[in-house]
Amino acid sequence: MADKLDAARMQEYWNKTSRLMWTIFALWLFFAFFIHLFAVQLNGVTILGFPLGFYMAAQGSLIAFVVLCVWNAIAQNKIDEEFGVQED
């Protein structure tokens, strides 16, 4: 990759990659910890007959993690293509 990009483009590439990484990390923290801290309060809301706090602990966070993984792969691939460093 270093031979394809000059220093300025490499810094721009890293800035976009870093921004994506920190955004996904913040969302991961939210679904992994923050939601569960308020499980008791969320139990007042029901989804498909289950309390929301229980649903987020049992299914919701896992679905969010899978969506975050897919989003990360797609977004990083777009960044790589933008800078011409995608894998073949």
47 phi-psi bin (left φ>0, alpha ψ -120 to 50, beta other): beta
* Total domains present in the chain: 1
Range of the domain at 27: 7-83
The tokens for 17 are 């990659």
Mark the ranges of the chain whose per-residue pLDDT is less than 50: none
Q: Indicate whether 50 belongs to any domain.
A: yes
Q: Indicate whether 1 belongs to any domain.
A: no
Q: Indicate whether 88 belongs to any domain.
A: no
Supply the pLDDT for residue 74.
97
Alpha carbon 4 to chain centroid distance? 28
Residue 33 in contact with residue 81, Cβ under 8 Å?
no
DSSP letter assigned to residue 32: I
How far, CA to CA in Å, does 70 sit from each of 1, 22, 65, 67, 73?
23, 16, 9, 5, 5
Supply the pLDDT for residue 58.
77
Q: Indicate whether 19 belongs to any domain.
A: yes
Question: pTM of the full predicted structure?
Answer: 0.79
Q: Indicate whether 2 belongs to any domain.
A: no
Q: Indicate whether 28 belongs to any domain.
A: yes
Q: Indicate whether 54 belongs to any domain.
A: yes
Residue that has been written with the tokens 């801290």 in this structure: 37
Q: Indicate whether 76 belongs to any domain.
A: yes
